[in-house]
Amino acid sequence: AQTVTQSQPEMSVQEAETVTLSCTYDTSESDYYLFWYKQPPSRQMILVIRQEAYKQQNATENRFSVNFQKAAKSFSLKISDSQLGDAAMYFCATGNEKLTFGTGTRLTIIP
């Protein structure tokens, strides 16, 4: 079983600035991945980035990177050079048999 907590219901950032979205989790699994998904108004869930728990090196995908602290069970998402198209709901998730999602963070980009 696992739980995922996103404590920031809403965040906003100026265009071109950097923003960090927080996520903490708890799991009884020993081998797992962590994911960040983006859900724009179109409602499609888009995989942004993933991190294998066994890897110490933080994952990076272009402007998106994570800060994974396994001992603290923390998995934050950093978005650099924020763009208008980054505006969306962001969900943190984990789980093997099933994905457990956080409640989401609504990110607004200010032009």
Partner 1 sequence: KAGVTQTPRYLIKTRGQQVTLSCSPISGHRSVSWYQQTPGQGLQFLFEYFSETQRNKGNFPGRFSGRQFSNSRSEMNVSTLELGDSALYLCASSFKKTGSYKNTEAFFGQGTRLTVV
* Contacts to partner 1 by CB under 8 A: 31-33, 35, 37, 42-47, 50, 52, 91, 95-101, 103-104
Token pair 């009884």 is found at 28
| C-beta neighbour count of 68 within 10 angstroms | 20
Q: Of the two residues 42 and 57, which places its CB atom closer to partner 1 in the complex? A: 42
- Minimum distance from CB of 17 to partner 1 (Å)? 28
Q: 21 is written with which tokens? A: 């979205």
- Minimum distance from CB of 19 to partner 1 (Å)? 22
Q: Of the two residues 32 and 80, which places its CB atom closer to partner 1 in the complex? A: 32
Residue 30 CB burial class (10 angstroms; 0-12, 13-18, ≥19): exposed
